[in-house]
Structure 1
């Protein structure tokens, strides 16, 4: 049983590290960091714009991290904001500029290439099973985390 844990954690860790290396390598040529990849990707996928809160949910990043990323993207001229509906930047929708759309297109190409290369030798059936199992494990571990946090909160209240 413990070997399953080792296999899962080392496998996921290696995949994550490889993805981070690919992001870092490719983004440095744009003057950006790997953390910018998913924001550019999601903004490119949503031409109607996204708020920082939207990006937090989509990228699974915290508010501070998304704020830094969006500041960098704005500084590089990749995004602009629509302040007509809300004056606060966090609630204002961000849109890709012309140069931002070009970078987002390059990011999408990078993602497609990595996805194709990473999935070589895997049948569609194997891929479907892999993702079903991966998200089942993810959901189960989120439940474990929620239970641990609930127990921890309860123990704090008792003291």
Structure 2
């Protein structure tokens, strides 16, 4: 049976997905434990906006590698909480630009600290050279598929 040929220790998709889930689950727990009123998904929207304020909703979708409907729901929820605001583009009223509010920025700073601590805990005990190789290889796989905003030092990285 072809399913028997799958080895989870050799399956890049499974390994990357499982590590991502582990990171997200741990981060969710830490956000709750620290009394942070934000989800990991909401934080994923706020971070690129804190880096490059006023991204169009379409550009934000590209940066997040997420479908328009999912991003739209997140933005609406963040807007209701006063963490972002949307403005129609002056050039094209159909295009909405998203801006992080001061309240949104206040949430991002402690969230980033928690994210970095969570990351440090997850990679503790891993040889730094091996970790660097892992990141380089994953980046080589990802980079050709990414929008240019995701490739730079700015939003989404």
Unaligned runs of 5+ in 1: 143-159
- 1:24-70 C-alpha deviation (Å, 9 max, x unpaired): 33555444433212101111122x32111111111111000000000
Residues 97, 26 of structure 1: alpha-carbon distance in 2 compared, 3 angstrom cutoff:
farther
2:51 alignment partner, one of 42, 45, 56: 45
Higher relative contact order (CA 8 A, sep 6+): 2
1:135 alignment partner, one of 136, 139, 146: 139
- 1:156 is aligned to none
Q: Offset of 1:111 from its aligned partner?
A: 1.8
- 2:66 is aligned to 61
Q: Is the 1:41–1:107 contact (alpha carbons within 8 Å) kept by the matching residues of 2?
A: no
Figure out how many residues of one structure are paired with residues of the other and give that number.
Answer: 137
Structure number with the higher helix fraction is 1
Q: Is the 1:50–1:93 contact (alpha carbons within 8 Å) kept by the matching residues of 2?
A: yes
Residues 79, 26 of structure 1: alpha-carbon distance in 2 compared, 3 angstrom cutoff:
farther
- 1:14 is aligned to 18
Q: Offset of 1:104 from its aligned partner?
A: 1.5
Once residues 42 and 84 of structure 1 are traced to their aligned partners in structure 2, the CA distance between those partners, rounded to angstroms, is 19
- 1:79 is aligned to 84
Unaligned runs of 5+ in 2: 146-157
- 1:94-145 C-alpha deviation (Å, 9 max, x unpaired): 11111110111122112211222222233442222111222345579x7xxx
TM-score (normalised: structure 2): 0.71
Q: Is the 1:23–1:33 contact (alpha carbons within 8 Å) kept by the matching residues of 2?
A: no
Q: Is the 2:23–2:119 contact (alpha carbons within 8 Å) kept by the matching residues of 1?
A: no
SS in structure 2 of the partner of residue 6 of structure 1: coil
TM-score (normalised: structure 1): 0.70
